[in-house]
Amino acid sequence: MHPIIHTRLGPIPSYTLCTAAGFALAVAWVLFRHRGRGFGIETTLALMLVAAVSGLVGARAWFVLTHLGFFQPWVGAVARAGFSPAAAAIGAIVPPALLLLYARPWLRSLRGAAVPVLASAAIVGALMAGRLVPAHSLAPDHDPFDPSGGGQAAFGGLALATPAVLIAASRKGIPPGIALDCIAPGVLAALAVGRVGCLLNGCCTGIAWGGPAAIDGRFPSAIAEFVVLSVLTVYAALRPVRAPFGRSAAVSAVGYAVIRFVSEFARAETEPAFFGMTVNQAAAVLLAGAASGILLFRAHPQPEPA
């Protein structure tokens, strides 16, 4: 296992490096294959920025919510921590600045209420930063805001990034179905590269296994998922993007849901949560159901972007 990779720029967590590589691969795929469908450089980079931020937030939030016991020491640290005026000052600046940068049309629509909204964002940011930053020094190994060494969940990233990207794409004049079909192979490739990060980081280990390709006496779940996801990526990349749009992405979603449902049986440290299924298996069932609904009932073609 190689959780830290030493480069000329300094030590970099291998999971972080693989996550960045996955996003870069997704961007390269969309630019190379679908520039003529409205995915110019500016649009693609904007959408991938939205996907990166929302995906990382969703992936980390899902992991934290499904591993609350692990983060209990951090909760206790927050209760014991003091208050940092310096962190509060920075926290008061960042939320209003982000609103002014990315939500000016919405703020204008609020008219006189915009100032109270900005002030509230500053107060909330100051209180959170002033309290949370000191807590990190008390429980650094249980910080829910530090996913650099792993601790992200694909379903959480997909749950938050998908609607965020679709909204951003629609504002760029790209219909949702076309956006999903064009981006799906890149997303699958990113998920496959993420499994390499799991292997290097030593997380998502498999069950006890004495068969072929065993790693430290465990089933090579990360390698197996990487191989199967790579095959699904190639299949999705070879599918033509054509009307009715959205079907290609739906097929990819069903394939990923099946892979993830089965892979949970080969992973260690998974516990049943719903009807004998793990949380991720339940999410896989919901994803497969939603994607199957699109395949069964979606029959109206969407126009190509101009």
Q: What is the pLDDT of residues 72-124, one digit of tens each?
A: 887 788 778 788 899 999 999 999 998 888 788 888 888 888 899 999 999 99
Q: In the chain, what are the domain boundaries?
A: 4-69+144-297, 72-143
* Amino acid sitting at position 135: A
Between CA 51 and CA 24 the distance in angstroms is 12
Question: What local confidence, expressed as pLDDT, does residue 40 receive?
Answer: 87
Rounded to whole angstroms, what are the CA distances from 62 to 151, 167, 169? 9, 21, 24
The pLDDT, as a whole number, for residue 147 is 66
pLDDT at 305: 54
User: Which residues pair with residue 193 across a beta bridge?
Assistant: none
**Spans in the chain with pLDDT lower than 50:** 299-300
Q: What distance in Å separates the CA atoms of residue 288 and residue 161, rounded to the nearest whole number?
A: 17
Q: Which of 194, 236, 214, 274 is nearest to 17 (CA)?
A: 194
Q: Work out whether strand 10-13 and strand 4-7 pair parallel, antiparallel, or are unpaired.
A: antiparallel
Question: Length of the chain, please?
Answer: 306
Task: State the pLDDT at residue 250.
Answer: 92
Closest C-alpha to 52, from 148, 157, 144: 157
**Cα(166)–Cα(91) distance, integer angstroms:** 29
pLDDT at 199 (0 to 100): 86
Residues 6+ apart with CB under 8 A from 2: 14, 200
For residue 286 the two structure tokens come to 């919901």
- Please give the pLDDT value at position 46: 87
Q: Examine residue 176 and say whether the peptide bond preceding it is cis (omega within 30 degrees of 0).
A: no
Confirm if 193 and 222 have CB atoms less than 8 A apart: no
The pLDDT of residue 13 is: 80
Predicted pLDDT at 298: 64
pLDDT at 148: 60
